[in-house]
Every structure is written in C-alpha cells, then in structure tokens.
Amino acid sequence: MDIFTSILSLSFAAQVLRLFTPYYLGASAANFSERGGVINIAIEGFMLISAFLYAVFAIYINNSIIAAILTIILNLIFSLLFALFTVKLKLNQIVTGVGFNLFFAGLANFLLVYLFHSSSNTPRFVGLPRIPFISDLTYVGNVFGDIIILFSFLSVFISNELLFKTKFGLRLRSAGENPEAGESLGVKVRLYKLYGILICGFLTSLAGIWIASSQNTYSQGMIAGRGFIALAAMIIGKWKPVNIFFVCIMFSFFEAIEITLQIVQTFVPSQIIQMLPYLITIVVLLGIIGKTKAPASDGIPY
C-alpha cells in the first residue's frame, strides 16, 4: 500500500479523529485559563502527570473508571496549587508554569522507578471501557465509541456556548480582558480566574487519561510535546473554540501522516518524519506572528 492510498483510507481518517483528542483538550484547557487572564504553559506537565497517575491507579486498583476519577481529583488539587501561586501569591506565571512542568516530569520519573522499578514504562493495564452500542457501529464506532474522544468533539460546542453565550463566560472573559472593570461591576475576578484554572485542570486530566488509556501503559516521553503544540493551536486559533478545532484537526492530520510514513516504506529519513508535527507548528506560528491578539490582561497578575 503506497502513501496516497493510506492517506485516502477510512482508517487514516479515523486515526486523525482519534489523534485530535489530546490536542483539542489541551488547547481548550489553555484557552479557559487564558480567557481568565492566567497563562498556563504547564499544559504538557498536567497532561503528563495525569497519564502517569491514571496508569498507577489503573494498575493498583484494577478499575479504570475509579482510576480516572481519582486522577481528575488529584489534577484538580494540583490546579488549586497552581492557582495559589499565580492568583493568590501573584508569582510570575511563565516561571510558575516552567516549574510545574519540571516538577511533574521529575515526580513521574521518580515514582516510575520507585513503584515499578523501571525508568521507561509501567506494566500494561486495561483502559477505559468503550460506550455500548456506539462502539458497535460500523466505521464511526471505532472513534466515537471512546467516551473521551466523543467528549472532546462535543466540547467544541460546549466551550463555544459557555464562553460566548453565558454569564459565566462573560465574567470569565472580563477577568482576562479588563479585571478592574469587571470588579467594578461586581465580578469576583480572582474567583473566576480560579474557575478558569480548574476547568483547565479538568480538561488536561482527560487528555492525559486518554493518552495512557489508549496505549494501555504509561511510558516516559509519551506526551511528546502535545501540550506545547496545544498551546500553539490555541494561539493560532485566536482563543476561539471553533478556530482551535480546525487547527487541532490540522495538527492531528500531520501527526497521522508522520505515523503513516513510518509504516509505509519511504525515501524520507525517519528523523525528518518524526520532526514533521513540530516543524509544521513552527512554520504555522511564524505565519501568524503579529496577527493574533491575546486577552488584554492575559498574564498580568491582579
């Protein structure tokens, strides 16, 4: 099978839709945080620790649903800690994000060796169950039979409605655009910044859970920069859920091409193939520099 036949196949389309999941969940997570005025570059770290914690709980508890719930709870606690540093203590948000990324990476590596005596991966475990009936449908069941994939697509509409057509969204955006004006109208700005960070923590936990569950293991480096690409997708998508959706589809398309090129024999060196998603990210970012506008008070402590 040549490369063009592979790309035009239904299996390739299904792969694109599946790979879309962590990109959109990560980008949407960052969007909610930044709409509240808090820059969170620790998306990668939150996804990583969620994937690891889910693997630990799934192995020791042997119940994937309880493992997912516990992972979400712990990720929300970490999000509260992030909010303490950035909202309450008003520490530099970029430095805090870098610190969280390093902390999560180190914690996962330490616990991986301590709990499983391995520096590379955990034992295999059973992932999340598939949705009855939907998973049995021809073609679509392979994709939308997964509850997190289904939620990621539904969240495009949920996020758009929540941000632009509800009082909550208006108040959250006011915290990121003009917190002084929002405060003068009775909006509890710091509380809404906290809400944005907690939603961010919830969505990143789902992204990490999906990555670990879909591979039935946790391995070092499995997030592979998706959190940073998700941040790029948010910027390219101009902080708008529908725009972010199309950007994430583009990134998942190129990642699917990368995987396909590694399977199909080609004259392109494997190193260049593996660079493809990151190269595309850089090229697209270069093309939109100066053409996007973040929330006016994004990253400014209040």
48-106 residue pLDDT tens: 999 999 999 999 999 999 999 999 999 999 999 999 999 999 999 999 999 999 999 99
**pLDDT surpasses 70 at 122:** yes
In this prediction, residue 266 carries a pLDDT of 66
Residue with tokens 């970490």: 78
What is the band of 275 on the pLDDT scale with cuts at 50, 70, 90? confident
DSSP-derived secondary structure letter, 290: T
What are the extents of the domains in the chain? Answer: 24-227
Q: CA distances (Å), 84 to each of 81, 144, 177, 248, in order?
A: 5, 37, 21, 30
Q: Return d(Cα 196, Cα 212) in angstroms, integer.
A: 25
DSSP-derived secondary structure letter, 218: -
Distance of CA 220 to the CA centre of its chain: 17
245, amino acid identity: F
Q: How confident is the model over 200-223, as pLDDT tens digits?
A: 999 999 999 999 999 999 999 999
In this prediction, residue 11 carries a pLDDT of 83
**pLDDT surpasses 80 at 128:** yes
Which burial class, exposed, middle or buried, applies to 99 when counting CB atoms under 10 A from its CB (0-12, 13-18, 19+)?
middle
What is the band of 265 on the pLDDT scale with cuts at 50, 70, 90? low
Alpha helices by DSSP H, listed for 216-266, are 226-236, 241-263
* HSE-up (13 A, CA, CB side) for residue 64: 17
Alpha carbon distance, N-terminus to C-terminus of the chain = 57
